[in-house]
Every structure is written in structure tokens, then in C-alpha cells.
Amino acid sequence: MAKAFASRKDMDMTTGNLFWKIILFALPIMATTAMQLLYTTVDLTTVHYGAPTEAMGEESMGAIASNNALINLIVVVFTGVSLGVNVILSEAKGAGDKEKASKVMHTSMILALFSGIFVGLLGFFISDDLLRLMGTEAHYMEKATLYLRIYFGGLPFLMLYNYEAQMLRAQGDSRTPFLILVASGLTNIAFDCLFVFPLQMDVAGVGAATVMAEGVSCILGFLALWKGKNNFVSFRFKELRLDRACLLEVLRVGLPAGLQGFFFSLPNVFIQSSLYTIDPGNVNLENGATAASGVEGYFHAMSDAIAVSMMTFIAGNVGAKKPENVKKCILYGFAWGGIVCSLIALITGALHYPLLRLFVSNEEAIEAGRSRLFTMGFFYSFQFLMGATAGALRGIRKSTFPMVTTLVFCTGLRILLILTVFPLEQFHTVMWLYALFPITWALSAGVNLIGMAIFFPKTMRKISTTEAVTSTENESSPCADGADE
């Protein structure tokens, strides 16, 4: 395994044909995110088909699914924070500054470990309160609480892996995180089958399998950073210390991105609880929404990978002081996003039925899922545009602007409409509830484009007139340069 890590070759993100490099870098990210989503998909299908009766299987599936909005909220927040290390480390690599890159890496490992332990412990003890706050139905509470507590127990593994993956990507390697997730995904499937079918552990079994898989990904990610001979910088125990200046730089970019993820996902909790009020007790409506949400996760993996690739390439070329490449990264990223969103619309129209049947078998639930999937899939270009513009702004360290637009539109406006317009009889429908997504995506994307028009010309002028960072500057201030926000 160590030899496999040592033999890999990282991508140079500042030279060559950037059009093809952006998609080649993005493809493993798509596959990696899809593999992470596979955890939940396998969990749902295993408990559904592994239960003694169909009714028990649907109850267990509903219990796990009732955690989805909350788990997604946790994941996007801390994945967003980890984007800070991607941007700062990408800049350091583009500038050829190994000293700064090393300090960023070791500081971020400490941040990941302690934040994972803290949030994991806190979440474990308040799991039932969180589920009640979300309005989880009483017949799901016992199993849902058990699953969520097990999930929080494995959060330090998840946190460490997310940071490890971002460090590898920042150095031009998006392939290794994918291969790691293949190994951990196979681990998850194997233990799901063992714990649910012969051992009949139900939701506890799938939760334990997920934690074990996260542990595998964490260990392999660490080995890639430690043993990779072709790394721009590698992990070294003797260099493991917290650098205050680097920590602040990472948090300056990462915290707004994490908060943006929080603001983006928070209304989903309200939307999920609002769905219950349309037809209370309609299990098929709830299961259909869960199935559609499962499919949408893979759509998001496709579009978000392009946005992350754009962000990483932009940050690297800002560090390398190559303004023309920065412009190309934006143009090429949008082009690939258009291709991906067209593919998503095609899949939605042609394959929605078999995709939904992977999650549910009841025809009424499939029809309920189709309503949501059509609303989302055919308008996913707005979601991509929102994510891509936010990623581009993060790439030049302007993380606060997209955070504010997300707060205003995806959080504030959604919640306002849910509380004021949605209760009205003519708007109290599934269609109008789901329409909140594309409407707020489009508004956020439009304002982010205005932000790009404001901030990018300034950045282009700055890096056009600034010489590459000299070795003397690196030595005198290894982690204080370029702090814009």
C-alpha cells in the first residue's frame, strides 16, 4: 500500500492544457463523493431488504433517512471548513513555498482531530434533542437516535479524512482520495451485509459498518500524506505543531465556506419538516422524497466536483501569479459545468424510474420521488452556477461574499417563504415546496456573479503587477502573506 502511494504523480495545475486538466482533476472527485454517498445508499437498501418483513424494513429505512438532513448539514459544514486548507495549500504549492505548505498541513491535522472529537462528543449526547428539533416522527425516534449516536462516534475519522483529502487535492492529486474511498466503500458494503443479514443488527449494524469504513479511509489518507514520496510536502510527526498564523489563514477561508454550507443546509431541515405537514402520516410521500434526495446526491457530486476543481486551479494559479490561467480556469469550469448539467437533465428525464427503484419499490412512493426529482434535476444548472461562482470566489480568498448570499437567499428567503407563503392553501403543495430550491439557487448565483465582476478584476491587477514570492519573503513571513479577508 505504501508503494502505491509513493508511486503516484501529482498534477501540475499551472501549466499545460487546463481545459482537460480541470475535468481530469474533477472526475476522481465526482467518484469520491459518489462513493461517500454510497455509504448511505447501501445503508438504506441493506436495512430495507435485510429486515424480516417489508414493514420493518421501511421503518428502519425511514429511521436512517430521517437523519439525512442533519448528517448532510454536519458534513457540508466541516467539508466547507476543510476547503480552507485546500485554498491556502494550493496557493503555497503554486508559489513553490514548501515551508508554508508544511505548516498549513500540520496545523490543519491538529484542527481536524480536535474539532472532530469535540463535535463527535457533543453530538453523541444531544442526538435525541437534535432529532426532536427536526420534528422526527415518534415511530422513528428510537432507531434514528441509535443510528445518529453511532454516526457521531465516528466523526473524528470523517473529519480527519476530509482534511486529508483536501490536502492531497491541493497538491494536485485527486486520484488517491478516490482510491481510498473505493477501499473504504468496499469495507462498508462487506460489514453492512455481515451485520444486517446474518447478525440481524438492523440500524446499529449499518451505523457500525459506516464508522468502520470511515476509520479505514482516515488511516489510508494519513498513509498517503506520510509515505507519498512525490508529495509537494509530506506529513512528519516531528513537525506536528499548531502555527497560529497558518491556522488563522485556513479559518479565514474555511469558516465562511463552512458557514455557507450550514446556511445552505439549514433550511432543508425546515423543508423536511414542512413536507410532513402536507399529508401527515403518508409514508410513501416521505419515502419518495428520501429516494429522490438519494439520487440528487449523485447529481450534486457531479456538479460540485467541477466547482471544487475550479477553486483549486484558481487558487494554484493565483499563487503562481498567472492571471491568464485564472481566466481560463473560470471559462473552462463553466463550460464543463454546462456539459455536466445537460447530462443531469438527460438522466433525470430518461432514467428517473429505475434510479428511484433503487431506493423504494412502492409505485406511489416512486411517483412522489419523481415530482421532486423533476423539479431539481431539470434546473440543476442554477445549483451548479451558485456553487461554481462561490468556489471561484473562495479561490481568490473571497469566502465571505458567497457566504452572505447563501445566508440571505438559501437560508433567509427559504425560511421566510416557508413561514409566510407556504402555509397559504394555494401554495401548500409539494410542487411549491420543492420550487424553493431552484428559485433560491438562481438568486444566489446571480448575486455571486456580481461579486465575481467586482472582485476578480482587482485580483487580476494585483497578481499581474506583483512578482512571484521570493525565497526571502517566504523565510520572513511563511504564513502571513496574501491574507485578504
Query: What residue spans define the domains of the chain?
Result: 2-463
From residue 362, give the alpha-carbon distance in Å to each of 43, 110, 206, 469.
Answer: 19, 47, 23, 61
The 10 Å Cβ neighbour count of residue 448 is 26
Would you say 330 and 314 are in contact if contact means Cβ atoms under 8 Å apart? yes
Q: Could you tell me the sign of the dihedral formed by the alpha carbons of 315, 318, 322, 324, in that order?
A: positive
Chain position carrying cell 475535468: 23
The three-state DSSP-derived secondary structure of 165-210 is HHHHHHCCCCHHHHHHHHHHHHHHHHHHHHHHCCCCCHHHHHHHHH
How far is CA 180 from its chain centroid? Answer: 16
pLDDT of residue 37: 73
pLDDT of residue 344: 94
Could you tell me the pTM of the whole model? Answer: 0.77
pLDDT of residue 274: 82
C-alpha cell at 324: 491568464
Say which residues have a Cβ less than 8 Å from residue 450's Cβ, sequence separation at least 6: none
Backbone angles phi, psi at 228, to 5 degrees: -70, 110
pLDDT of residue 22: 94
End-to-end CA distance of the chain: 40
C-alpha cell at 449: 456573479
What is the rounded distance in angstroms from the CA atom of residue 285 to the CA atom of residue 366?
Answer: 9
What is the rounded distance in angstroms from the CA atom of residue 226 to the CA atom of residue 223?
Answer: 5
pLDDT of residue 53: 64
The candidate with the shortest Cα–Cα distance to 39, out of 155, 187, 223, 145, is: 187
With a cut of 50, list the residues of the chain below it in pLDDT: 1-2, 4-7, 467-477, 483
